[in-house]
Chains A and B, each alone.
Chain A
Amino acid sequence: MSPSCDVLPVTLVTGFLGSGKSTLLADALHGDAAKDTAVLINEFGEVGLDHLLVGEVDARTVLLDNGCVCCSIRGELKEALATLFSQRARGDLPPFSRVILETTGLATPAPIVATLLADPVIRSHYALNATVTVVDALNAAQQRARHPEWLAQVSVADRLLISKSDLVDPTDIAVLAHTLEALNPAAEVVVLASAADKVDMLFAPTSSTDMMRRLGSGQRALGRGASFPGFDSAASADRATESNGAGDEGRYRAWSGDPASLAHRRAMPSLAVHDRPAPQDIVSFCMQIDEPIDWQVFTIWFTMLLNRHGDKILRVKGLLSIAGCAQPAVLHAVQHLVHPVLHLDAWPDAQRRSRLVFITEGLARESVEASYAWFRQRLEEPDH
């Protein structure tokens, strides 16, 4: 394929201010790891600094220095991506094969995803490979309480990397990992310090098999208990540490055996929230549908749901079993945006049923499921 026709994978690196995004890039992009990689850095403020920190890759860095991506420079982001591609096609830049887009710590990722998905020029040349969110272990509780961007960044992640773990008690790290798992069950949670390969953390595509395994293990763990007693952070931390086996390289893949750890009805000591301005519920749940879905009915329902409630739906991710189609479809939505639907070659596990993880703000599980059931009944019944 000629350089002008390639579709380049983009890794979106996000995380709150000071969480360690630039440090991660500087650590990971050395030598051969930086080969074939272009980096776009979005800065907030008058003077850009991050591009100076990522010194070794700045030869191919385009600095977006006009403020927050989410509100003011989507046009500039589009322009930067288009310029980057043009320079590559003309031979002005070496033929890089992948792009990292580091957002400002104050960015809400959805508009950036929108730029990648919705712009006709950009979507022809770039495809979102993975969204990596760096979570500051030291300041996670405070950031979660005070800045809604933190939650948006965590919700949209395919991979959550916990930074600064050396500054925090291991018990609190385990509690944070469980909190992140509960907030975004579809994401892989990794303690950055114990990650064997930081380059993999950036570039490895998200695996549907891994996601289904996470969901499956979560459901099995939850199935062992029906109620949600008080949260025991210390006990949960022990279990989390146990689940973090040697073969897992620091990845908190397994859910705790106690469903209490997944229902944070009481604030955890290390993540207590004292001054959140407005109480709000974040609900994550897995909607499972045993029977194959009717694709047309589902799209009618889902487009209508996103139109009215997209601002409350932080994330939807999962597999769909479509009637008449042997291959599972991967559905991935961020607020009002839906990624192009992909079809896997085969099911990643034996459970051939639709499973969708919803992360919502103020949208109850029961009403979402009841709504789909109603649509299914009304639209699938024979016409009179």
Chain B
Amino acid sequence: MCGMCGLLGGGNHWSNTIPPGTGANTRRQRLIHVALANRVLASFRLKLDDFHGQSFVLSSPTGTSELVGDFAQVWRVAEQMLGRPLDPLTLFDADESTPPSSPLSDDRVEVTTVHRFTDEQSAS
């Protein structure tokens, strides 16, 4: 909470962590966060703004706006405004024709373990 104005905010949310040694400060990181979130939200005509460094304001093109405390709530409220889910797993499905170069390690495939319970296994 802001000690001066009593605004409730998500200051303790994990996403507000400042990695040591990066030279970032809270304010700068927050503005970068907002800018990046707007890259995602812009295609849905939603807009996110910082509010006094404590909260965010999420606005829709119809004039609806809502104060939200942290990024966990940003996406939940965005889904309410849109009336449909915002799924990060399918968000870029339209771009599937040009998959991104993966930053992931090459030796990742073998690590998956699947624990599947099927009738067939039960019978074995």
Contacts and interface: CB of A to CB of B under 8 A. Distances in A.
A257 interface: no
Interface in A332-382: 336, 338-341, 343, 353, 365, 367-379
Interface string A316-340: 0000001111110100000010111
A100 interface: no
Nearest to B115: A282
Nearest to A285: B112
B103 A373 contact: yes
A284 B72 contact: no
A288 B75 contact: no
A228 to B, nearest CB: 8
Contacts, number: 197
A370 B93 CA distance: 10
A246 B117 CA distance: 35
Given A182-B113, A308-B87, A219 B107 contact: yes
Contacts of B15: 299, 303
B39 to A, nearest CB: 6
A290 interface: yes
Q: How large is the interface on A (under 10, 10 to 19, 20 to 34, 35 or more residues)?
A: 35 or more
B7 interface: no
Interface stretch (A1-9, A14-22, A86-94, A266-274): A266-274
Contacts of B33: 296, 299-300
Contacts of A369: 102, 104, 108
B23 interface: yes
Interface in A283-307: 283-291, 295-297, 299-301, 303-307
A223 B110 contact: yes
Contact of B14 (A289, A340, A343, A373): A340
Contacts of A327: 19-21
A378 B14 contact: no
A308 B89 CA distance: 9
Nearest to A341: B17
A276 B115 contact: no
Nearest to A298: B15
Given A295-B22, A300-B36, A300-B37, 7 more contacts: A285-B111, A295-B17, A299-B71, A323-B22, A339-B14, A370-B99, A373-B104
Interface of B: 12, 14-15, 17, 19-24, 29, 32-33, 35-37, 39-40, 70-72, 74-76, 79, 85-89, 91-92, 95, 99-105, 107-119, 121-122, 124
30 contacts: A182-B115, A264-B114, A266-B124, A267-B117, A267-B121, A267-B124, A274-B122, A283-B114, A285-B108, A287-B108, A288-B104, A288-B107, A290-B104, A295-B22, A297-B36, A299-B33, A300-B71, A303-B15, A303-B72, A308-B88, A309-B87, A329-B19, A339-B14, A341-B14, A343-B20, A369-B102, A371-B91, A373-B99, A373-B104, A376-B100
